[in-house]
Every structure is written in structure tokens, then in C-alpha cells.
């Protein structure tokens, strides 16, 4: 069966708008990021034709190929990294991504700051590089992210780096059928965001990237500003 990306985006947009309404939030307050892992450029172009141009990438090599393909098609898009970045992939990640959403340690932030300085020295960039701090709000040993107890201190340390800009938080949330636990993990991330934004210079770090295909309605109810969706638009993920 042929997947209709246009129809899927239309249905997903209605779902997001319904969740916004149920939460008493303004229509359009939640951005849709499409998870592009293993998706061919043609699928990203099809999504762009429907007005969705925010993409999240797990694989740095594919990030580069996707951005190049979008640029060749004269598509203006925003691309972020939503997977772990190995130190030997950081240069490419920062070259092609507009933001890295998976920073969970001071060491990683310091590497980004050093790389941004090199990019500035080479005339490739200006100003700080934007990031989201990833927090492990579920406490799962299989998920990346800093501990909730460490988040505020970590944000304070990273905020002292002149060439890194914290835009907000990212979390995966509890992977369970227990909706109460999912609510708690997203509510905790929202509460941590408020605490973090009490720090000097972080008042505007209000991005909350949380919620995927299965739990985006809960995430929106708990304050998500961006939801990351793949299968609801592209169908089951290709294996290669």
C-alpha cells in the first residue's frame, strides 16, 4: 500500500490541533518535527510540499545527505540532531545541523563550544551554537539524558560557555502503556524547564521537545512546544 505523506500530515495536524484545544492551548503553539531516520530525501521533499520543514536526524551521515538534497531542491528547512553524537561526528553535525538537541553533559557542551570557536575562526559561523539539554525524565537505564536532579546545575554550567546557547529541553519520556507515568515524565520536564529558566540568561530557553507518535497528545497536555513524529507520517521505518 502506498503511503500518502500528504494525507498523513493532514491527519496528524488535526490531531495536534485537537490536543492543543483539549489542553486549552492556542492553535499553532506546537511545532511538528519529522523524525527523518532512514527516510529518503524524496520523503522529506514530499513533507516539505505540505509545509513541514522541521526535521530531526539521528544519523549524522544521513543528516548531511538530507540537507544537501533539500538545498538542491531550493527548500528552506531547519534540521536538528535528535540522536547521540560521537565526538568524531561533531564537526559534521555542527556543519549541517541548525541545533543539537541531545546534549546531556558539560563535556559535550564544551566540545561544542570549542568547535564553534573553530568555525568562527574559519568564517563558517558567528555567535553561539544552539542546543537543547536532554533530560532522562523517566529514569530509564536505556535512555540517554542527564539526571533530573542534575539538570539545573548542568544548565548553569553550560550557560557560562559563551559559544553555546541553551534553547530549552528535550526528553523521550516514559516508554510504557501507563499513561500516568507518561504524564509524570513530561510534567517533570516542564517543571525542570521552569526551574532552569529561573537562572540568569536562560529566561527565554522555553523550548520543550517531547512527545512522539504514541504519546504526543500527553506531551502537548504537559506543555510540549515541539513533538517529534516519524511513523505517523512516513509509516514503519525502513531498515536501511
Average pLDDT over the chain reads: 95
Average pLDDT over residues 9-23: 97
Query: In degrees to the nearest 10, what's the CA dihedral of 102, 106, 110, 111?
Result: -50
pLDDT number for residue 1:
38
Tell me: the pLDDT tens digits for 78-100?
Answer: 999 999 999 999 999 999 999 99
Give the residue extent of every domain in the chain.
Answer: 5-229
Residue 199 is predicted with a pLDDT of 98
Nearest alpha-carbon partner for 84 in 26, 142, 6, 125: 142
Q: Which CATH number fits domain 5-229: 3.30.390.50, 3.40.50.620, 3.40.50.1580, 3.20.20.10?
A: 3.20.20.10
Give the per-residue pLDDT at 174.
87
Q: Is the dihedral of CA 95, 99, 103, 107 positive or negative?
A: positive
Is 128 in contact with 162 (CB distance < 8 Å)? yes
Query: Nearest CA to 91 among 57, 69, 118?
Result: 118
Give the model confidence (pLDDT) of 136-191 as tens digits. Answer: 998 777 788 999 999 999 999 999 999 999 999 999 988 889 999 999 999 999 99
Rounded distance between C-alpha atoms, residue 136 and residue 150, angstroms: 10
pLDDT of 211 strictly over 50 = yes
Give the orientation angle of helix 151-159 with respect to helix 179-196, to 10 degrees.
Answer: 40
| Residue-level pLDDT at 13 | 97
pLDDT at residue 120 tops 60: yes
Confidence of residue 236 (pLDDT cuts 50, 70, 90): confident
Band (pLDDT 50/70/90 cuts) for residue 239 is low
| 86 Cβ neighbours under 8 A, 6+ residues apart | none
Per the structure block, which three cell numbers stand in for 44?
A: 522529506
Query: Looking at the predicted structure, is the pLDDT value of residue 2 above 60?
Result: no
Amino acid at each position: 500500500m502506498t503511503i500518502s505523506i500528504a494525507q498523513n500530515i493532514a491527519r496528524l495536524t488535526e490531531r495536534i490541533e485537537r490536543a492543543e484545544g483539549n489542553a486549552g492551548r492556542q492553535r499553532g503553539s506546537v511545532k511538528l518535527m519529522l523524525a527523518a531516520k532512514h527516510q529518503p530525501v524524496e520523503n522529506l521533499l514530499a513533507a516539505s510540499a505540505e509545509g513541514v520543514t522541521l526535521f530531526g536526524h539521528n544519523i549524522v551521515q544521513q543528516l548531511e545527505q538530507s540537507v544537501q538534497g533539500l538545498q538542491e531542491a531550493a527548500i528552506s528547512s531547519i534540521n536538528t540532531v535528535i540522536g547521540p553524537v560521537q565526538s568524531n561526528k561533531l564537526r559534521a553535525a555542527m556543519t549541517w545541523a541548525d541545533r543539537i538537541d541531545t546534549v546531556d553533559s558539560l563535556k559535550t557542551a564544551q566540545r561544542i563550544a570549542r568547535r564553534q570557536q573553530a568555525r568562527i575562526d574559519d568564517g563558517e559561523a558567528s555567535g553561539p551554537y544552539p542546543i537543547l539539554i536532554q533530560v532522562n525524565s523517566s529514569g530509564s537505564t536505556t535512555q540517554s539524558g542527564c539526571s533530573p536532579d542534575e539538570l539545573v546545575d548542568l544548565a548553569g554550567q553550560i550557560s557560562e560557555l559563551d559559544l553555546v546557547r541553551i534553547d530549552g529541553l528535550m526528553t523521550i519520556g516514559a516508554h510504557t502503556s501507563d499513561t500516568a507515568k507518561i504524564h509524570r515524565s513530561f510534567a517533570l520536564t516542564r517543571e525542570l524547564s521552569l526551574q532552569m529558566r529561573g537562572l540568569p540568561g536562560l529566561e527565554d530557553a522555553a523550548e520543550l521537545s517531547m512527545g512522539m507518535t504514541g504519546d504526543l497528545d500527553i506531551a502537548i497536555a504537559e506543555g510540549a512546544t515541539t513533538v517529534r513524529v516519524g511513523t505517523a507520517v512516513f509509516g514503519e521505518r525502513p531498515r536501511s
